[in-house]
Structure 1
């Protein structure tokens, strides 16, 4: 069994810090309790003040109410941590963020009637990791659980109250998972499209998009996709690049609108990553770096694929073709010595005499 050291809860990234602290405490529970028992009874190397402190920590660790609440926190923060990771993904859209938010809130609310995996392991037993726990009051635990879940759900609802109305709600059309399996209503998405046109009209007009044709093209887009078997599983690939290849010639303006929606990030995580990378690229030694070079380097760092997914073949071909001089990657420079230099001079002199 791998030994896990207790970690601090505090930090700027409070969700990962708190989750790691709870996870290490619960996974290393037996070792932590054994250590506290030893130190609380060690009269040789531990003074009375420290022994009393260790004994107090031991009583808290063996308290069934405290341990069950830690398990509840572990289950709840695990869901919040996954939500935070989903929102910080570079390819995450607002529609995906809204869907993850709804599913996370549903799982947390379900914990009121159905315990999570960590809480289930200690709910119907008096021991945990072989350690006997002190009796706990079920009513006190249920009260604390309901207060925690209700408070979390209220905060989430208040913080993201605007995602279910207005333009943010209309942007769900960018996710095919929000579309119905069968187009039973011919008016599906019409109201949302009108809201999006009204909000993004200046941007679309500046890009040369004919906004008056978007409502009709939206109807054409729906009809073409459902006719091609969009509602049937496995018929066509439900991605926007596929739709662009299929219908760009018939619905260019509505597809430009969806391209604008897909470029809007779900969070400011990319901005934070950009500032961090900029500090690494434009250091004190490279303070005279121009804006164009800095932009190219930032794009390379932020937008390039992972090393395991990167295929350098195209870059190598461009390097071979676009060079001003002929590339010789197989050339190996010899070590120049006095003998080789003399022989090269003799060869050059002989060739000049022959000429």
Structure 2
């Protein structure tokens, strides 16, 4: 509404060119179809931005991508239903004395369209906007499917999700070798890397059975399901490494599977900022350190200095008992072998 008031002010007091532009924009903004489309656009953009945020967050995991895309697809499918669109499009719009009003602003019904002798009524406009919004939802669903088909149908991503997404685990009574095949898929994909860790598939499956029982017992004591990465990171830090040596290797690989390249793109942009035209002689090591500091989002309130202090202390030999430096002792000036001035006077 503030922007509308600003445009109205420009339309009255601006220059000739700006007045014409402001009045033209107002003529479009104050139409019934535009306001209806705006009501649709607000929830639609919220859904799309939720997907976009996943691929900008450094903490995104495979589970988050599956869950967010699936959620947005369901929301868009629900949004495209005519009854829901009719309710959303009519939000804030009402008829008063033969005029259409939105937040105390009288809307224009528009010029008569071709083939019509008069401007359409509110129901006709709503029907047209519903068809337009349904087309947008259908095209968005199509592009989401084609865009994420590689991820959603990838056997490695699917196995990682099925294996460690505890909210979809079957009950203990229905658990008939659940996850064993998924472990084999991940083992086959990461075979070269797992060989370096002396990985044993049979031991991993035995540890997996024990880990499932342990996690089910922990989840049963919680009032609500924790976040995916939070729960598994706590498992990694709480349980003994020797008891789950092989399955923990698989878990760590799943947690660090790269989902996007946003961090790499940020690094290239940051490199151009840090190494500007005035700092072209920066040493590569210094540039790397400065970029690492800038990419780390820790603030003063959240930064933990103890690891840095420990690294500094272990880097070289320190002398904690050394006293602060005082005034430096003056160097002893050696007397010259020449006789002093007094001796010379005596001789004279």
TM-score greater than 0.5 by the shorter chain: yes
CA distance in 2, matches of 1:294, 1:307: 22
CA distance in 2, matches of 1:41, 1:205: 76
Task: Answer yes or no: is the 8 Å Cα contact 1:71–1:119 preserved in 2.
Answer: yes
SS in 2 for 1:127: strand
Which residue is equivalent to 2:262? 269
Task: Answer yes or no: is the 8 Å Cα contact 1:217–1:254 preserved in 2.
Answer: yes
Which residue is equivalent to 1:249? 242
Q: Note the C-alpha offset of 1:212.
A: 4.3
Which residue is equivalent to 1:12? none
Q: Note the C-alpha offset of 1:235.
A: 10
SS in 1 for 2:298: coil
Is 1:198 equivalent to 2:188 in the alignment?
A: yes
Question: Cα deviation per residue 1:283-309 (whole Å; 9 max; x = unaligned)?
Answer: 553545245x55454444434633321
Task: Answer yes or no: is the 8 Å Cα contact 1:86–1:92 preserved in 2.
Answer: yes
Unaligned runs of 5+ residues in structure 2 are 110-121, 334-348
Question: Cα deviation per residue 1:7-40 (whole Å; 9 max; x = unaligned)?
Answer: xxxxxxxxxxxxxxxxxxxxxx3x3333444554
TM-score (norm 1): 0.71
Q: Note the C-alpha offset of 1:158.
A: 1.3
Counterpart of 1:153 (choices 119, 123, 141) is: 141
**Worse overlay, 311-320 or 57-66:** 311-320
Task: Provide closer, same or farther for how the CA distance between residues 267 and 178 of structure 1 changes in structure 2, counting only shifts above 3 A.
Answer: farther
Which residue is equivalent to 1:32? 3
SS in 2 for 1:121: coil
Question: Cα deviation per residue 1:258-307 (whole Å; 9 max; x = unaligned)?
Answer: 1111112221111112223333444553545245x554544444346333
The 5-angstrom pairing of residues 147-226 of structure 1 reads 147-165=135-153, 166-173=155-162, 175-180=164-169, 182-183=171-172, 184-226=174-216
Question: Cα deviation per residue 1:66-112 (whole Å; 9 max; x = unaligned)?
Answer: 11112212221122112212321111111111111111222222222
**Greater C-alpha radius of gyration:** 2
Unaligned runs of 5+ residues in structure 1 are 1-28, 335-340, 350-355
Is 1:130 equivalent to 2:104 in the alignment?
A: yes
CA distance in 2, matches of 1:59, 1:181: 58
Is 1:109 equivalent to 2:70 in the alignment?
A: no
The 5-angstrom pairing of residues 315-330 of structure 1 reads 315-316=308-309, 324-326=318-320
Q: Note the C-alpha offset of 1:65.
A: 0.5
Counterpart of 2:65 (choices 92, 97, 106) is: 97
TM-score (norm 2): 0.73
Q: Note the C-alpha offset of 1:152.
A: 0.8
